[in-house]
Structures are given as C-alpha cells and as structure tokens.
Amino acid sequence: MLNARIEEAINDQIKWEFYSAYLYLSMSTWYESLGLRGFANWERVQFQEEQAHALKFLDYVIARGGRVILQQVDAPQAEWESPRRGFEHQLEHEQLVTSKINNLVNLAIEEKDHATYNMLQWFVNEQVEEEANATEILDNLRMIEEGGGSGMLYMLDKELQARVFTPPATEKSP
C-alpha cells in the first residue's frame, strides 16, 4: 500500500507533469505562429513526453493501491520575446521539475519506501536528459544570435523538425 504522504506528493507531481505538457503545447503553438515548424514539432514531442510522464506516475499510484486525485492545472505562458527566451524558460522549468523530483526522492528515503525510490530513479535520469536537451538547443540559439545568422536558425529549425515521440518503455508495476 502506498504511504499517504507519498501518494499526496505524487498526485502533486502528476499535476506538474501535466502542466509541463500544457506549457510545451503552448510553446509549440507559439513557434507555429512564428513559422518555426521544427521548433513547434520539437515542443509537440516534448508535450507528448510529459503526458507519458504524468501517466507513468498515475499508473504507479494505482499499482500501489493508491488513489489518483487530479488537480487543477494553471494556464501556461503563451508567448516569449524570442526562441532563445523560450528555451531559457524551458530550461528554468525543467530545473524546477528536477527539484520536485529530487524532493520526491528525499521523501521516499525519509518514508523508507524503497519501491517508490526505485521508480523515481527513472525520473531522476530523465531529468538529466531534459535539462541537457534544453541546454543544447539554448547553446545553439546563443551561437546563432552571436553569429547573426537567420540561415543558421533555418537549419536548426529543420533539424528540430526531425524529432519524433518515442514512448517510454512500459514496465510491469509492483
């Protein structure tokens, strides 16, 4: 049976995962409005990933005999000053999510919930990837801005257009 404190904390994390999805869908539509279809595609894939993360948490709560209580998700920001500022926001948001995952890990340790601790390690590793992806694109955008190359922005947009969603492998829950 899932500990009540952990159940409540994971329910809160489910909200944050859905908020992340909503934020990235908002970013996708904003990039579309700029004609940056590759950026829009990249964010739409990000949206799908975040939904999958929320469902992974949701399924875990159910598998442990807990109750999922969905919470209200706030409206995300709808526009940014530039693509660079969009990715700065994305990196800041992923760092916030990382801190929330780390807090869940700390709670699992405090509550001596080894199953939850083990499940959370997937998310710890995922957050390293999420921050690295945002940082890499942000670094590319900085180089483009410093080089003053709209052609380079076009090339990055085309590269981002090639990204596809690959659902995380499903694992049998305990």
Sorted by where each starts, the structural domains of the chain and their CATH numbers stand as 4-161 (1.20.1260.10)
CB atoms within 10 A of CB 150: 9
Whole-angstrom distance, CA of residue 80 vs CA of residue 133: 19
Question: Between helices 4-33 and 83-110, what is the axis angle to 10°?
Answer: 170
Q: Is the full-model pTM beyond 0.85? A: yes
* Distance of alpha carbon 15 from alpha carbon 139, whole angstroms: 29
Reading the chain (174 residues) residue by residue, the pLDDT tens digits are 899 999 999 999 999 999 999 999 999 999 999 999 999 999 999 999 999 999 999 999 999 999 999 999 999 999 999 999 999 999 999 999 999 999 999 999 999 999 999 999 999 999 999 999 999 889 888 877 776 666 666 676 677 777 788 888 766 555
**pLDDT tens-place string over residues 31-68:** 999 999 999 999 999 999 999 999 999 999 999 999 99
Give the chain's length. 174
